[in-house]
Amino acid sequence: MTALPRPIVDLIGVFERLPGIGPKSATRLAFYLLNAPKHFVEEISNDLLEMKKSIKICNECFGVSESEVCEICSDSSRDKSLICVVERAIDVIAIENLGGYKGVYHVLGGTVNPLNHVGPEDLKINELIDKIENREVSEVILATNPTMEGEATALYINKKIQTQNLKLKITRIGSGLPMGADLEFADQATLSRAMEGRRTI
Ligand SMILES: [Zn+2]
């Protein structure tokens, strides 16, 4: 690697910091871009900067948005009494891609994870409770990933809602998803079944 010119080494180093990219893939990407037409590389650079500049966090659901309130939250045909709680904005995309869900979302921003020093106060849990208290909510679907952290977070939220004595149905997505799986990587049929097979806690 030391024989390579510094700019290539630097780019490989940057790619290696991306999720799921190891040294081999990073090297392949760097050389691919080195040989690609200049306009393609400019397009990627511009799109990256544009994304960072124009994408905001929705004030209501904390998902991604181009304006203060995202398209889903501002869509009057969506059922605001049905809230699907997910870990990250990418999970919203996974469920939206199924096409059948007509409620809204609440993005937590992660999971409770003591090993990484992430406590409930670091997530949008109080915001969820506020939302439930201030709006007619009939059902909260806890759609955190079926991992240890996802389960712990779902249990925590369930307990928190119960202790507030709020009258609503709390459900957890079904067991179709394998333990340790990510919603993001689940195939559509499995995720559909998990949503349909949700059960009351
Ligand atoms: Zn929103």
Q: What is the pLDDT of residue 2?
A: 61
- Tell me the CA–centroid distance for residue 171 and ligand 1, in Å: 21
- Tell me the CA–centroid distance for residue 26 and ligand 1, in Å: 34
Residue 64 lies in a domain: no
- Tell me the CA–centroid distance for residue 6 and ligand 1, in Å: 43
Residue 175: pLDDT band by 50, 70, 90 thresholds?
A: low
Report in angstroms the alpha-carbon separations of 100 from 103, 124, 182, 191, 195: 9, 25, 20, 11, 10
Give the contacts of 60 (CB within 8 A, at least 6 positions apart): 69, 70, 73, 104, 131
Ion ligand 1 contact residues with beta carbon within 5 A: 58, 60-61, 63, 70, 73
Residue 162 lies in a domain: yes
C-alpha 14 chain-centroid distance: 23
Residue 32 lies in a domain: yes
Regarding whether 84 and 31 lie in a shared domain, the answer is: no
Domain that holds residue 17: 6-54
Tell whether pTM > 0.85: no
Who wins on pLDDT, 165 or 90? 90
Tens of pLDDT, residues 48-86: 999 999 999 999 999 999 999 999 999 999 999 999 999
What's the half-sphere exposure (Cβ side, CA atoms, 13 Å) at 189? 0
The number of folded domains in the chain is 2
